[in-house]
Structure 1
Amino acid sequence: MSLQQKIDRITDILRRDDGISGAMHYTEQTSWVLFLKFLDDCESEKKDEAVLSGKDYQPVLDEEHRWASWACPKTAEGKLDLANAKTGDDLTDYVNNQLFPYLKGFANAAVTGSDPKSFAYKIGAIFQYLDNKVASGHTLREVLDIIDTLNFQSSAEMFELSMVYEGLLQNMGDAGGYAGEFYTPRPVVRAMINAIDPQVGQTIYDAAAGSCGFLVQAFDHLKEKKSALSTEQWDFIQRETFFGFEKTSLAYVMGMMNMILHGIESPNLFRGNSLTQNIRDIQEKDRYDIILANPPFGGKEKSQIQQNFPIQSNATELLFLQHFMKTLKIGGKAAIVIPEGVLFQTNSAFKQVKQELLENFNLHTILSLPAGVFLPYSGVKTNVLFFERSGGASDVWYYECEPEQKLTKNKPITDEHLKEFVELYNSRETTERSWTVAASKLAEDYDLSAKNPAKQKDAEHLAPSNILKQIRTKEKLVSGLLDEIENLLAEK
């Protein structure tokens, strides 16, 4: 049975439980059990490595709360120890009243003495916002037995796990109506990251992290260079590279688990609304080299939040754009998904933000995405802004992504649709799908929407006498048609 089949089986089991209602619940509950098995395998691997190198390893969890003690204890023959394996009410009581309080306690650094950047603290941060919702201990027993068959010490199985988990997150978003919050289509994410090409030693930030798809994909991008990295560089990637904020507790938990399950041992993800920060207080030391994000759009923020921004607006997309502009380091690069309205609206707030973007940032590329990229969550047309903090813009290169077939939920955007964009990104060539507009031209009205000149038909300028002849010819045609209709009516 493949990993995907095992996860599907778990989903079917959880659907029957009285405490589970919908995809969001069974994804959340599958996640914490998966995570604890992953943690146990990770601890075992580190212990084996320590033995080989002649060092001591102190496990994060104590003996009582390790997977092998409570979830699936084994006999000397390696089979499930039925005498000591909890089930039913005993299992539910242990998980709810002992295991979860113990795991939540890791987030209390004052009590545990754990470093907020440590793996132990991250475990506490995850379980701080989690509870066991599986009502039946017998149901949970079935789930534990299936997950116990997984081996996360295998690189192939870890890769498969990361892919399966991506699918769980997407299903949760689709079913719950939070696809934009939990899941940005990976071809879009990959195109943005491949274009910007983050380097080892740079910090990467997402202020609306959701399930951390951008940060995870950026990690995979950097991981490709692993064989050439020093121990110090790899440690920097693990502990000092990825930063993010997420407002909602469920997305925060999913995002933290997503990063750890992909191999980022100490992600700097924090729960909170990044818009509550007054951007006037942000200094260079608080900024990041790379910003990648798909912030919420269409939302509204109250006046108290708007006070944190020089250009006030209740539109979340405008506030996030200002936040990203302010948190980008000198020389830094950003790629931000925004709705079409940000480009064409020219009322006071929208115009001022775009003026700031053109005058003080190098807005050099706008990727126009097709409608339907975010279905079924939203049919709103979106774009990606690529800009750098390196002086004002001179020219803006546009690329219009236009699949031959209309995008739908079952026919989503693919890497192939964005392949040409990535290939042309650095050269910024002019093609049937790409063109360049002077920033000074855009500054005339601050309408930045994509208008492909290859599609603009040249107006035919006729002499006034010829225009008059055309009008008279059409009038005769109309008069003739009216006469025919009148004759037909008279015959009846």
Structure 2
Amino acid sequence: MVTGELKSKIDSLWEIFWTGGLTNPLDVIEQMTYLMFIRDLDDSDNLRAKEAVVLGLPYQSIFAKEVQIGDRSIDGSQLKWSVFHDFPAAKMYSTVQEWVFPFIKNLHGDKESAYSKYMSDAIFKIPTPLMLDKIVTAMDAIYEQMAQMKAADTRGDVYEYLLLKIKTAGINGQFRTPRHIIRMMVDLMEPKADEVICDPACGTSGFLVVASEYLKENRKEEVFFNQRNKDHYMNHMFHGFDMDRTMLRIGAMNMMTHGVTNPFIEYRDSLSDQNQDKEKYSLILANPPFKGNLDYDSVSADLLKVCKTKKTELLFLTLFLRMLKVGGRCACIVPDGVLFGSSAAHKAIRKEIVENNRLEAVISMPSGVFKPYAGVSTAVLIFTKTGQGGTNNVWFYDMKADGLSLDDKQSPVEDNDIPDIIARFHNLAGETERKRTEQSFFVPKQEIADNDYDLSINKYKEVEYIPVEYPPTEEILADLREIEKEIGKEMDALEKLLRL
């Protein structure tokens, strides 16, 4: 979330673009993204060099020695942000335009990779050396501010703020899932070294990035000290689809700066016949678009067989079941309406998950989690595809706080249920004796079935009412009379003062 001084710095950067002649908001977003990528390449290259030393692994810097750009050989160090940002404006401009930008466009050797595919039509549009010099200085200030705040996802935070500025965030479903919510879902699922992970509505690849970070932090030896696992991590583990080329470009750059050299990021309408994936993935992490109704003609026929509806949130749940391997797991965000909707389609998809697969958890989140972009109440569903049932008891958790205020400001607060959610989910054996009046509890499958597969926590949560004893009416009236007398005395005193 962008607030305070950081917000002011981004507003100033936006004004530099605007006064310099770039007035199309999408052009601004793209140019900022390219420059952030160039800076992040420098930072991530230095970080990976340090990690390689610690791990005892060989590492060849992308800026090492000479770099071939067209028919010219350039000293690679000249392409580093930390070097060219000190150049005079004219030299910086020619360096970025003639060397750095062609370098990042052709950075990936595999011309069929996601990165090469979405960078092929990238254009450097900053018109003057003076404007580039101002932008670079402003971006250095933004990164310095973010470093002081110890925030990791600079690119994503800036991008969501820009979307808000151009009034598209929350209208077309393109606002980001908060990073701490993504991290919670990844921590709940604990990805393994052999996973095949997919986000069918990936946006800027936030879920895929955090999953890759989790593996680095928790399974470093298993992934990076095993050649087969490392190749799988770099080339076959991560899959993401979206229908916005700007997002795909940002997503591909995001993955690359986080050390995944060849993710499968593809332009695809996941709900259409264009998506033929079946029983392919072992883990799906997603926050699919909630808004909008689709035409039946644009939806894959096999999805409509399971759940005949035009609502995207229901169709995506059906899609997840189709795309998962048997034994594959899913953690996804759904609007509350999915949990209790009374239409035939709502009931059908809930019944399919509960009866024919294994629903494990329903984590109810407060409505302020997605502010300021949306105020809708949501929940995280966690289930495993079995095709043969397996739901016995479903674990419910009533999240009341996520570490941020539940208003538009999203200020840090002390109350945070996320560590408790993760700890309890990984120790479900200790949850069996909890009562329905507590923050988490189990509900038997049969009770859920008897309630039309309603998955809203309020259907099962019991509220403990504590009786309040009030004084007798006579005492209350007597107190009111005394207060009235005091008011009368004060009024008399005030009147005397006014007469003086």
TM-score range, shorter chain: 0.7 to 0.9
* Residue number in structure 1 paired with 2:189: 196
- 1:104-115 to structure 2, matched below 5 A, reads 114=110
**In structure 2, C-alpha distance between the alignment counterparts of 1:70 and 1:235, rounded to whole Å:** 28
Do the aligned residues in 2 keep the contact of 1:209 with 1:246 (CA within 8 Å)? yes
Q: 2:126: which partner in 1?
A: 134
Query: Is residue 2:406 matched to residue 1:407?
Result: yes
Partner of 2:203: 210
CA distance in 1, matches of 2:286, 2:377: 16
1:358 equivalent in alignment to 2:354? yes
**2:116 alignment partner in structure 1:** 124
TM-superposed deviation, 1:42:
6.8
Indicate if the aligned counterparts of 2:42 and 2:81 stay in contact, CA closer than 8 A: no
Deviations 1:102-127 (A, max 9, x none): 866789xxxxx8353xxxx4442332
Structure 1 spans left out of the alignment, 5+ residues:
108-112, 459-492
Alpha-carbon distance change, 139 to 66 in structure 1, aligned in 2, over 3 angstroms = farther
> Is 2:17 the counterpart of 1:14?
yes
What does residue 385 of structure 1 align with? 381
Aligned to 1:436: 442
Quote how far apart the aligned CAs of 1:316 are: 0.6
Instruction: Write the mapping of 1:218-257 to structure 2, written as runs, cut at 5 A.
Output: 218-225=211-218, 227-229=220-222, 230-232=225-227, 233-257=229-253
Change in Cα spacing, 1:423 to 1:32, as seen in structure 2 (3 Å) is same
Alignment of 1:267-306 (within 5 A): 267-277=263-273, 282-284=277-279, 287-306=280-299
More moved, 312-321 vs 414-423: 414-423
State the distance in 2 between where 1:72 and 1:373 align.
36
TM-score normalised to structure 1 length: 0.74
- Partner SS, residue 181 of structure 1: coil
Aligned amino acid, residue 421 of structure 1: I
The question of 1:335 aligning with 2:331 is answered yes
2:395 is the alignment partner of 1:397:
yes
The 3-state SS of whatever aligns with 2:394 is: strand
Paired residue total: 431
**Distance in structure 2 (CA, Å) of the matches to 1:204 and 1:379:** 29
Identity %: 26
One-letter code aligned to 1:396: V
1:383–1:165 distance in 2 versus 1, CA, 3 Å: same
Shift of 1:418: 1.7
Deviation for aligned residue 1:425? 0.7
| TM-superposed deviation, 1:328 | 1.1
Q: Which amino acid aligns with 2:368?
A: G
Where relative contact order (Cα < 8 A, 6+ residues apart) is larger, the structure is 1
Give the Cα separation in 2 of the matches to 1:126 and 1:18. Answer: 25
Q: 1:38 to 1:278 in 2, by over 3 A?
A: closer
- Between 417-426 and 214-223, report the one with greater CA deviation: 417-426
What is the CA–CA distance in structure 2 between the aligned matches of 1:149 and 1:374, rounded to whole Å? 27
Q: RMSD over aligned Cα, in angstroms?
A: 4.2
| SS of structure 2 residue aligned to 1:352 | helix
SS in 2 for 1:410: coil
2:77 and 2:151 map into 1 onto residues whose CA distance is: 20
Structure-2-length-normalised TM-score: 0.73
**Structure 2 unaligned residues grouped into runs of 5+:** 466-500
CA positional deviation for 1:64: 6.3
Describe the SS at the equivalent of 1:330: strand
Q: Is the 8 A contact 2:330 2:383 kept in 1?
A: yes
Q: Which stretch shifts more, 191-200 or 235-244? A: 235-244
Structure 1 residues 457 and 29, CA, compared in 2 at 3 Å: closer, same or farther? same
